[in-house]
Each structure stands twice: as C-alpha cells, then as structure tokens.
Chains A and B, each alone.
Chain A
Amino acid sequence: MAPGQKLYPRATVKKIVKAHSNCNVSKNVDVMIFLDYVLFMQTLMKEAAIDAKQAGERGISARSVKKATADTLAKFKG
C-alpha cells in the first residue's frame, strides 16, 4: 500500500455494498468492510499461493486464484 495514495475509494465501497444489500450504509462501516475485504484478500492470496506452490508455478496463476476463491468465499460467508 503505497503511502501517498489513498488506500481505497470509500465512496465506491459504500456504493457497492449499498447496491448489493439494498440497505443504507452507515457512516464509517466501510472502513470495517474494507478491513474485512483485506482479510479476505489475504486469505485468498495465501490459499492461492499455497495452491500455486503445490502446482509448481512461479508466481500465482489465475487458475490457483480461482481454485482458492471458492474456499475462501465459503470461509467468509457470514
């Protein structure tokens, strides 16, 4: 996370969540939402990295990300 840049567009996150939930989003929830998203991404990348290593890839391929996506999403199902 580059220091100069803002980490994420807060309004966008709010809009996304609002669209999906059809609910209003209170003022600072988006920070926590983004926090949760970071955790999600962390898990996803970790899983994908493990999968990529098992497959013997250098770096992370789309395939391993896709593989990890299902599990990670299930893990983050509230």
Chain B
Amino acid sequence: MADPTPNKNRLAAISTPRALATPNRRAISAEPSSLRLSASGRRNPNTPHARAAIRAIDQRRAALFTPGRVGRRRSIARERERETPRDLLRNLSRVLAPTSKPVSSSSSSSPPRGNESTLQTLLEEGDDDDDFPIERPRFSLPLDRDDDDDSELKPPRSSILDDENYTMQSIEMPRRAWTEAPLGRLDRSSLGSVRMSDFVGPEIGDDADDSNVGIDSGFFPPPALDDDTGGIALDEEAIFERMDEEARRQTIGGQDDFGPIEIPDLGNESTFVMAPVESPTRDPTMAEGAESSDIPGFDHYDDDGDDNGDGLGDLMDAPGLDDVDDVDDTEALQDTIISQVASHPAQRSTGRRKPGKRISRHGIEYPSLPVGVVKRLATTLAKTAGVSKAKLSSDTVDAIMQATDWYFEQLGDDLSAYARHAGRKTIDESDMMMLMRRQRQTSASTTPFSLAQRYLPRELLQEMRMSVPAPTKAPRKRQARQGDVEEEEVT
C-alpha cells in the first residue's frame, strides 16, 4: 500500500477524482466477499451475531460502492487524510526535486549574517551619524541614568547586608554544629540558655545575660546568621522587654523553653545548625560527653548569675571547673579538651555531682533529681510503654535528666504563679491541684488521689492520705475551683 498510494496520491492530488482508486480495488475485492458474505448471511440470519455481522458487511459494502461517503474504507480515508496542504507541498517538492537546486538561504545560516551586518552597519553608522546610532546606545545610556537608579537600587542591597550584618561574619568566632554537640550543650537552659553562636557568648553574655535567655531562644529558629548578628541588638532590646515584664517572664520563659528544646531535635536530624552557647548551663550532668559544654555552661551560668550581681557569678565560678569566665569558647574548648584528656572519668563523676550546685533564676541553689531515681523511674515507665529493650543508654538518661530539669523549672514557674496569684508565698496543694487540672491530668473521673493510688507506692500514698484526708479532698477541689472562678473574675 505504501508504495502505490503516493503515486495515486500524486495523481489524486493533481486530478482529484478519488473514485478512480476505489473502483479498481472494488473490482478485485468486492466480488468474492459479497458472494461469500451474502451467502453466509442469508443462510444464518437467526443469531444476533450473525445479523450484526451481516449488517456490518452490508454497511461496508455500501461504503465501498458509494464513492464520496465518510464510512469508506480505511485506505481511502488514509488517502484522504494525506491530502493535507503539507502533502500537496510534498508532492510538489517531489515533482520539482530533480529539476531544482537547493537555495543557500536557510534559516540557520542567515541570522548571524544579518546580525553581523546589522552590527556593522550600526557601528559604521555610529561612526558616521552621531544622531541615530548613538541614540540607540543611549537606550542603554538611559541605563546609565538608571545607574543613578542603580545607586538607588544598591542601597537596598547594602542595607540588607547591614541588616544581615555580614560584616559581623568577618569577626565571627568559630562555631560548632548542633549535631556535634551532645545534648549536654542545651543543658538546662531552660530559659534560653540556648544561644546560637559562640560569638555572642561570653562578652555579650555579661552585658545582656538574663535577657539573652528568653529572647535568644525565641529567635532561635532563624538560621544561625541572624542570631549571630542580631544577637547583640536583639539582646539589648530584649533587656528592655524583659526588665519590664519581669513578672510575666516566668510564664513566658516557660514557653521559651520549647523553642530551644524543640529545635535542636530538628537540627539534629537533618539540617546543620550552629551550636548555641548555653549560658545558664550549670548542668554538668549532661556535660560528660560534651567537648566544652561543662565549662562554657559554667561561664554562662555565671553570666546568668549576674542578674543578681556579679558576686554571685563569681561565687559560682569558684565551684565551677575553671575560671574561664570571659574567655572565648575556643579557649574553653581547649581547656575542656585538656581537662577531659586529663581526667575524663573523674570529671564525669564530678559532673554528676556538680548539678547539685545549680542556681535557679531566683538565685537559689538547687540540686537536681538524683540520676538513679530518674533512671529507675524511666526504665519502669519505658517498660510499661512497651519498649522491648528496657535498657536506657547514658545519652538517653542524659536527655531524660534534661527533660526533668526543664520540667521542674516549668513546674516551679507555674506553681509560683498560682501561689502568688492567690496572694500566698507558699505553694499549696491547691496550687498543685490546679496545675494538674490545667494539665488535664486530673478530671472529674480521675482525681489526684486515684492517680496517686496508681502511681505512687503505699507509703507516699499514706502521706498523701494523711495530709489530705479523703473527705476534705472534694471540698478542697471545690475551693480550688472557686478560686479558679475568682481568678477568672479578677483577670
């Protein structure tokens, strides 16, 4: 088919009667088929398939015999399809091909020529006529005018640079990645001890120590650059805010906790985040593995202590491992490395003990919960949580200890807020009830007492029972609720 059709096409295209092609073919193919099919069709008209077949055949035959119809044979349809203008052109080209020669001007070759020519002409004209060609360059010259605009445009860039304080980067001190630092760096921090770069670390810490705390953590998420550069400015702003809202700071600080807590996790996973310098870290517990966490922690901690006066910080220093106070982290690092090389296990043990001497925001020393207790509890609870391998690694225990410290800090903030709100200076059990209810740990169905029965051993339960006899419990709750209402009314 392929060979004959073009010829036919050519003929057809030129002389258009298509019918010419069909009658010949029909003469060949139609007769036997019509004979056979009509015979078979008339013999078995019964089955529906046969009828349908007969109908189809008749249609086909009709299509064959009627020249111009749509339902014609495919070959005809194809032929017709090929009669597009393109085919006409192709046919024409085939006819003309032997006689004609290729024209040199193709699309690919010409444009460069044209461009060259235009350029040359432009240049020449530029030399010749100062008016036009130069005018056109001045279309770019307006760009020179725009250079004024560019100068206007540039300032934004430069301002961005200023904002980013890229200049600061040149001064930037070495920083470490989050991933490198064990959790210990975060240490207790709670509030924000998490600082982004070492650079901000000691010196600024002295100035802005307290405020750094909350705000750094708050601004933590943005990449390290901002924090570094913004560190100073933000810190100072932060000071003002914080000073003003000293009272509120407790709760806010608590919220701030989450920033620093959360982000390191993310950072640990995939992204590379610069290591913070923790200021208020006084938590050697975590410090063990950390390269420098112990010491910087102490340093910053001292900074933290500066809230209450440098004396305190110095006091803290003395127990601190080194007097590295205002030294850069690099030095601290070296010191720690040396010290670790010298006495790693000893440091570890002391580190465990050391947390005992940490200082809260209020400048009160406090111990941390003994690791053994926490570990035991955690192991038990992990078993109940359905972990097959109940053994907790030391890293895990450290993380749990950290969570514990954070938890108690938050708890202290909340409880003190409740107590102060009630006009007390003593944290009462009603405060604790309040807290647990707000935590949704207790509800109408679960009383703190039932929880205690479930989770506390009998001795403590007895303590609770002795201190809070069952009958008085309900009224007390009601009282607490009333207090709640009053609080709401007050606020």
Contacts and interface: CB of A to CB of B under 8 A. Distances in A.
A77 B255 CA distance: 8
Given A19-B365, A21-B427, A33 B399 contact: no
A22 interface: yes
A18 to B, nearest CB: 7
B52 interface: no
Given A34-B460, A42-B384, A29 B432 contact: yes
Contacts of B455: 35, 38-39, 42
B398 interface: yes
B439 A59 contact: no
Contacts of A17: 408, 411-412, 415, 427
Interface string B251-269: 0001101100110110011
Interface in A3-36: 3, 5-9, 12-13, 15-29, 31-36
Contact of A16 (B269, B387, B389, B412): B412
A8 to B, nearest CB: 5
Interface in B268-296: 268-269
Contacts of B382: 45, 48-49, 60
A26 B488 CA distance: 25
A78 interface: yes
Nearest to A61: B396
A49 to B, nearest CB: 4
A35 to B, nearest CB: 5
A31 B452 contact: yes
A18 B391 contact: no
A40 B407 contact: yes
Contact of B367 (A16, A36, A40, A42): A16
Contact of A20 (B378, B386, B409, B426): B409
A67 B393 CA distance: 16
A69 B416 contact: no
B373 A8 contact: yes
Interface in B93-131: none
Nearest to A28: B467
B409 to A, nearest CB: 5
B272 to A, nearest CB: 16
B387 A60 contact: yes
Contacts of B439: 36, 39, 75-78
B456 interface: yes
Contacts of B269: 63
B431 A29 contact: yes
Contacts of A28: 429, 463-464, 466-468
A15 B262 CA distance: 27
Interface of A: 1-3, 5-9, 12-13, 15-29, 31-42, 44-46, 48-49, 52, 58-63, 65-67, 69-70, 72-78
21 contacts: A7-B373, A9-B369, A15-B367, A19-B360, A20-B361, A21-B412, A21-B413, A23-B420, A29-B431, A31-B463, A31-B464, A36-B411, A49-B386, A52-B387, A62-B398, A63-B269, A66-B261, A66-B268, A72-B403, A73-B410, A77-B255
Given A21-B427, A48-B382, 8 more contacts: A8-B377, A23-B420, A31-B460, A34-B460, A39-B439, A40-B407, A66-B402, A73-B403
Interface of B: 183, 254-255, 257-258, 261-262, 264-265, 268-269, 359-362, 364-370, 373-374, 376-378, 380-382, 384-393, 395-396, 398-400, 402-404, 406-420, 424-429, 431-436, 438-439, 441, 448, 451-452, 455-457, 459-460, 463-464, 466-468
